[in-house]
Amino acid sequence: MAKGSKGYNLKTYLKGQTIFKEGDPGNLAYLIRSGSVEIYKVMNNKKIILEQLKPGEIFGEMSIISKEPRSAYAAANEYSELVVINQKDLEVSINKSLPIVQALANLLIKRLRHTSEMIREHPTNNIFLSICNLLYLLHESLSNKTGKALLTESKEHMIFSEVCHIIKGTLSLTQIEIDGIMQYLLELGLIEIKQVKIAPQLIKKVISIPEPDKFIERTIEYARDWKPEKGSFAQDLEFIDISEFSKMMGSTATDVIQKFASQEIPLELCYLHKAGAKAWLDSQTSETDKAS
């Protein structure tokens, strides 16, 4: 890890190199100085892309705040330079800020921790039904004239961006997750999405529920078949690591490595990630040069 010109810790990653894995301890956050980073989860051996992050964006901070293990994977999309932020640096930055900023930051941290605790106590394994129920409630609010911010001039549709904003704030979901489920609902014919003119010079994407009286009943029916991969940006994993392979075998990573060494498992099954291996070799060379 190198020191930047301003004294911060700077770490570089090659394309495809893993930054952290789901379940890892979360004691560091990262600011993208250059390059880009992909945040994803692995479900049923499918890679589900959650976010694509660009320079100037921070990630990994939730684990510092909540003191919980990582909830997803992070990997470099290309050669990337990341500023490493530890908990002490975060606290020092907050303490150096104006009193009002300190108060807001501490309030945000408190609320995030409270939200994390509530999620652990009341987990939901079906965001599909959660989104459907919220969509129905928003639709009902229109008839009660409590959802004016969502209405178009015709009062027949909800503004798509406003609906997504409410869903993100209520369910703590990413736009990619919401888009995936919206696309699935669209394919099922449970919602309609189109572009309409809501003012002389303004066209907006809107959403409506064609048959609201049957909506909840039908979503419950389709929820049985819904999987996180449906309508999401999912990719088959061509390679798995030793840890994942050991889980498939019901064994440990150490046992698997020993079986490779004794050739009980064919060496042809053992692959190394080229970019990651090169990065490791480069780091070893660098450490050797420093020692000499």
Residues 85-130 have pLDDT tens digits of 887 777 777 677 767 766 766 666 565 555 455 444 444 446 888 8
Closest CA to 48 of 187, 196, 277, 237: 237
pLDDT at 283: 72
Tens digit of each residue's pLDDT (9 = 90 or more) over 66-95:
677 888 899 999 999 999 988 777 777 767
Q: What is the DSSP string of 224-286?
A: TT--TTTTS-EEE-S---HHHHHHHHTS-HHHHHHHHHTTSS-GGG----HHHHHHHHHHHHH
Q: Give me the mean pLDDT over the 147-171 stretch.
A: 68
* 143-to-131, 151, 162 alpha-carbon distances in Å: 19, 10, 17
201, 162 Cβ separation under 8 angstroms = no
Tens digit of each residue's pLDDT (9 = 90 or more) over 9-57:
899 999 999 999 988 888 888 999 999 999 888 765 667 777 788 999 8
Give the contacts of 11 (CB within 8 A, at least 6 positions apart): 1, 2, 30, 81, 82, 84
The yes or no reply on domain 127-234 and CATH 1.10.3470 is: no
Q: Choose the most confident range, by mean pLDDT, from 17-26, 45-54, 137-146, 171-180.
A: 17-26
pLDDT at 81: 95
The yes or no reply on domain 2-93 and CATH 2.60.120.10 is: yes
208, 191 Cβ separation under 8 angstroms = yes
Tokens of 129: 């039904």
- DSSP one-letter code for 153: T
Of 273 and 231, the structure prediction assigns the larger pLDDT to 273
HEC per residue, 125-147: CCHHHHHHHHHHHHHHHHHCCCC
Amino acid at 162: E
In which element (H, E) is residue 221 found? helix 212-223
CA distance 117 to 54: 29
Of 151 and 173, the structure prediction assigns the larger pLDDT to 173
pLDDT at 175: 78
Half-sphere exposure of 248 (CA within 13 A, CB side): 9
* 248-to-7, 235, 242, 245, 260 alpha-carbon distances in Å: 44, 19, 10, 5, 15
Domain map (residue ranges) of the chain: 2-93, 127-234, 242-291
Mean pLDDT lowest for which of 66-70, 163-167, 282-286?
282-286
* 54-to-22, 30, 72, 232, 249 alpha-carbon distances in Å: 20, 12, 17, 21, 37
